[in-house]
Amino acid sequence: MSFRKVNIIILVLAVALFLLVLHHNFLGLSSLLRNEVTDSGIVGPRPIDFVPNGLRHAVDGRQEEIPVVIAASEDRLGGAIAAINSIQHNTRSNVIFYIVTLNNTADHLRSWLNSDSLKSIQYKIVNFDPKLLEGKVKEDPDQGESMKPYNYIGYLDYKKERIRKLSMKASTCSFNPGVFVANLTEWKRQNITNQLEKWMKLNVEEGLYSRTLAGSITTPPLLIVFYQQHSTIDPMWNVRHLGSSAGKRYSPQFVKAAKLLHWNGHFKPWGRTASYTDVWEKWYIPDPTGKFNLIRRYTEISNIK
């Protein structure tokens, strides 16, 4: 498996599964979803608190640790840094970051996190072992460009008997697995990781995913395992498609009110053109090693010269 392939897999696996994982030992997921969270989000001008208003003082008093797991592939390391810095500055909770990366990226990441602006951050670097994917990822060189389906039939091959036996409606609207809140106690109790790995292995053996997904390895098993077993959260916690075009999809007022901004798509905020780069750049910390640079910076400098 090539290095680039592994890097992409880490990004998809870790971000899609764990872009934002919040957990309180005494707080179930249903309790969180029933309460309104009124504070601002991960990228934005106002502070956030991951705890519903009714339980905030109890958590503040106990200083319970809240884990946030995030991916950090080499080519998108600046995006991870900006997200970490934003979370750190916009929460009153005791947050610790579990940063998933490849071994050869760990030193680069560690030197960045040792910057003066980031020294107060609590974190643990988790080296991702590509061997964990053996037998769980199916590489298909003939697979075309990926698409972004909006229902189950776009992710799964309903011609396969194993899929049909699950009795899942093909027209069911898929949930967004890129950003979700998980009760980790229940996750462990129900062996969710084992369930997901089971379906990843079965796909390698039987080809259960839609061939239009071009290597997606996390969304289909999540849709299967959590079919009719999830609740919705306020969509302002995942204002997405900011990277789907270079133009501004949303109004400044809407972006300001968002709790979490998601630049999914081709146009990343560290690239040459993207929407609301000023909002993202507020939380970006320059790379002390000089390896990661904002592309538009070079364009601006060259234009000045």
Percent of the chain with pLDDT over 70: 71
* Per-residue pLDDT tens over the stretch 163-181: 999 999 999 988 777 677 7
Average pLDDT, the chain: 75
* Per-residue pLDDT tens over the stretch 261-288: 989 888 999 998 889 999 999 999 999 9
- Predicted confidence at residue 141, as pLDDT, reads 52
Helices (H), the chain: 3-18, 29-34, 56-62, 77-89, 103-113, 161-164, 184-189, 192-206, 219-225, 252-257, 277-281, 295-304
Residues 6+ apart with CB under 8 A from 43: 82, 83, 86, 258, 260, 261, 279, 280, 282, 283
The partner residues of 101 in beta bridges, in order of sequence, read 127
The token duo for 274 is 């993207």
- Predicted confidence at residue 286, as pLDDT, reads 95
C-alpha 153 chain-centroid distance = 23
| C-alpha to C-alpha distances, 121 to 44, 95, 161, nearest whole angstrom | 19, 8, 49
* Per-residue pLDDT tens over the stretch 106-145: 999 999 999 999 988 999 999 988 888 888 887 665 554 4
The helix/strand/coil state of 118 is helix
Distance CA 21, CA 212 (A): 28
